[in-house]
Copies of this chain bind each other. A is one copy, B any other.
């Protein structure tokens, strides 16, 4: 659709529609809403559709650059927690493919590797969407970081045997009491980490904190299609990606895409401004009364 300066009211209606469509795609991750709000504000702070479009594009680019820099800073702070010869477990993909350039959970791992630390990464396969086995393993392979994919079921076994020194995961949304919503299975790994005295860190920029969520109970959990459990995608011998059924045709599935990890299982949250404890006091001080940091 083309809009001119005179059509600015229609353009705003068009923008609001786009905003609604984008925001309705996923309910759980806070940064989706933050990013859209940021671009919307920059676009609507104008009185001319052509200028608004330019500002929207400029804002989106600014946002991407800001996000990459936040993630790099998370990596620097997180790297201080990683010792030489450590084995790190991660769950899902919180890397460059999820964020920009550095990622959140993968940023400390990346920077530890750039600093010549000898590390080994246990990559949770992360059923049902296999983000670990496909995306995270691929990113680590590109960086030549030593790693092995494990079944999500095996993480506890390796922790109990002392094979895992720390866990770093990303976050989709963090409540003001330090409860963290993240990919389904994160809660399981956090409970197992605590049980085995393994430190458990969440890596996330300030834009992931949601001051409207007092606790994890206020975070909506996306329920996704059961087909993600009943079917799977994989590459055949010819390199074609195919969908195939991995369960009986009479069976159904339940597929919550995220879970909430209560703050008590979390050692610390690695942000762009340092590592903070998952407590109400520390998070309130961190967000400083503001909803979130403004990009640059």
- Residues of A whose CB lies within 8 Å of any CB of B are 122-123, 125-128, 130, 133-134, 137-138, 140-141, 147-158, 160, 183-185, 187-188, 191-192, 195, 226, 229-236, 242, 244-248, 250-256, 259-260
Q: How far, in whole Å, are A198 and B106 apart by their CA atoms in the complex?
A: 34
Given contacts A134-B247, A234-B246, contact A152 B153 (CB under 8 A): yes
Partner of A156, one of B127, B137, B188: B188
Q: How far, in whole Å, are A157 and B188 apart by their CA atoms in the complex?
A: 8
Complex contact B232–A191 (CB within 8 A): no
Q: How far, in whole Å, are A123 and B229 apart by their CA atoms in the complex?
A: 11
Contacts of A160 in B (CB 8 A): 187, 259-260
Q: How far, in whole Å, are A226 and B99 apart by their CA atoms in the complex?
A: 29
Q: How far, in whole Å, are A244 and B240 apart by their CA atoms in the complex?
A: 10
Contacts of A134 in B (CB 8 A): 246-248
Closest 5 CB pairs of A and B: A234-B244, A153-B185, A141-B250, A156-B188, A157-B259
Closest residue of chain B to A139 (Cβ to Cβ) is B248
Most B C-beta atoms less than 10 A away, residue of A141, A188, A232, A246: A188
Closest residue of chain B to A245 (Cβ to Cβ) is B235
Q: How many copies of this chain does one complex carry?
A: 2
Complex contact A195–B185 (CB within 8 A): no
Given contacts A133-B247, A259-B160, contact A184 B232 (CB under 8 A): no
A217 to chain B, nearest CB (A): 11
Given contacts A128-B151, A247-B133, contact A191 B184 (CB under 8 A): no
Contacts of A130 in B (CB 8 A): 246-247
Partner of A151, one of B122, B141, B185, B244: B185
Contacts of A156 in B (CB 8 A): 185, 187-188, 191, 259
Q: How far, in whole Å, are A195 and B264 apart by their CA atoms in the complex?
A: 12
